C-alpha cells in the first residue's frame, strides 16, 4: 500500500475553501489541495475563477466549485458562509489568501482604497475565521491558513497601509491559534517575501529576473511551504529561511538609508 503524502485525504472526503483562487498563490493552493484529494471551493472577484475551477476538476478529478465574490465588502464573509451552509458544504481547510497590494503614501491613497484593503485583510479574514472556525470546532477539528506578509517587518514609506494591515493579520492569527487549539483547530499565518506574481504589478520579464536572482520566490513554492507549515500546526512561518536572516536588518534600518529608499522608490508609487 502506497504511503500517503502529508495532508492527503481520501478523494472527495474533505473540502478546502480558497479565496483569491483564480491565479497566483491562491491558484497554487487550490491545485495542491486538490492533488491531495480535497474538493475545492474556489472564490475570487475575478470571473477567471470559473475557468480555474474547471481546470482543477479536470486535472485532479475532484469537485471544484467556483464562487465569484468581492471579499472586500463589509458583509462578504457572512454572505459566503451563508452560501456554503446553504449548499451543504462543510469546510475542513480554509485558506484566506485574497489580498490587495498597495505601495503608496497614505495621504495619496483614496479613502475607498484604504477601506477596501483594511476590510479585505482584516475584517473579512477575521470574520471568516470566526464563522468557519466555529464550525470546525463544532465538528472536532480543521485547519485555517491566513496569508500575512514579510512586509510586517518592513514599515517603509509607501508600505504603511499594506504592512500594517498584514501585521494585524499575523498577530491575530497567532493569538487566535492559541484560543482554538484545544478544540482541534490549527491556525497558521504565512509571511512570504517577494513572490513572482502579478500582485505587485511587475512585468513578467522582471519576475523571471527576480526568480533567477533569488529575490523572488515562485507562487507554487510559497504555497507548498505554507501548506507544509499548516500541516505541522505551526502558528507563523516565513517560507524561505534566508529571508528570516534579514528581519533584524529591516527593523533596524538607519534613517539615512530609509530616506534614500524613499527618494528612490517615490517614482514607483501608484
- Residues serving a catalytic function are 162
Nearest to 195 by CA among 143, 240, 228: 240
Q: Answer yes or no: are the C-beta atoms of 65 and 53 closer than 8 Å.
A: yes
- Helix then strand count (H, E) for the chain reads 11, 7
Q: Hey, which residues does 65 pair with through a beta bridge?
A: 41
| Cβ–Cβ < 8 Å for 129, 174 | no
Q: CA torsion 243→245→248→254, rounded to 10°? A: -80
Other CB atoms within a 10 A radius of the CB of residue 171 amount to 14
Q: Is 102 left (phi over 0), alpha (psi -120 to 50) or beta?
A: beta
Amino acid at each position: 500500500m502506497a504511503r500517503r503524502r502529508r495532508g492527503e485525504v481520501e478523494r472527495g472526503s474533505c473540502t478546502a475553501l480558497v479565496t483569491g483562487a483564480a491565479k497566483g498563490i491562491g491558484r497554487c493552493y487550490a491545485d495542491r489541495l486538490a492533488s491531495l484529494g480535497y474538493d475545492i471551493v474556489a472564490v475570487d472577484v475575478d470571473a477567471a475563477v470559473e475557468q480555474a475551477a474547471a481546470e482543477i476538476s479536470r486535472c485532479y478529478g475532484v469537485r471544484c466549485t467556483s464562487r465569484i465574490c468581492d471579499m472586500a465588502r463589509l458583509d462578504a464573509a457572512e454572505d459566503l458562509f451563508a452560501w456554503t451552509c446553504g449548499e451543504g458544504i462543510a469546510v475542513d481547510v480554509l485558506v484566506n489568501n485574497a489580498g490587495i497590494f498597495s505601495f503608496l503614501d497614505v495621504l495619496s491613497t483614496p479613502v475607498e482604497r484604504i477601506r477596501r484593503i483594511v476590510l479585505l485583510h482584516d475584517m473579512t479574514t477575521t470574520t471568516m475565521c470566526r464563522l468557519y472556525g466555529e464550525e470546525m470546532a463544532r465538528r472536532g477539528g480543521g485547519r485555517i491558513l491566513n496569508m500575512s506578509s514579510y512586509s510586517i517587518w518592513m514599515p517603509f514609506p509607501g508600505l504603511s497601509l499594506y504592512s500594517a494591515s498584514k501585521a494585524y493579520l499575523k498577530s491575530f492569527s497567532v493569538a487566535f491559534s492559541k484560543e482554538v487549539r484545544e478544540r482541534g483547530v490549527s491556525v497558521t499565518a504565512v509571511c512570504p517575501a517577494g513572490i513572482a506574481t502579478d500582485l505587485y504589478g511587475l512585468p513578467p520579464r522582471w519576475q523571471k529576473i527576480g526568480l533567477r536572482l533569488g529575490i523572488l520566490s515562485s507562487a507554487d513554492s510559497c504555497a507548498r511551504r505554507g501548506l507544509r507549515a499548516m500541516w505541522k500546526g505551526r502558528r507563523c512561518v516565513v517560507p524561505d529561511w534566508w529571508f528570516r536572516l534579514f528581519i533584524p536588518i529591516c527593523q533596524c534600518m538607519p534613517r539615512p538609508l530609509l530616506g534614500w529608499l524613499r527618494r528612490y522608490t517615490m517614482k514607483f508609487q501608484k
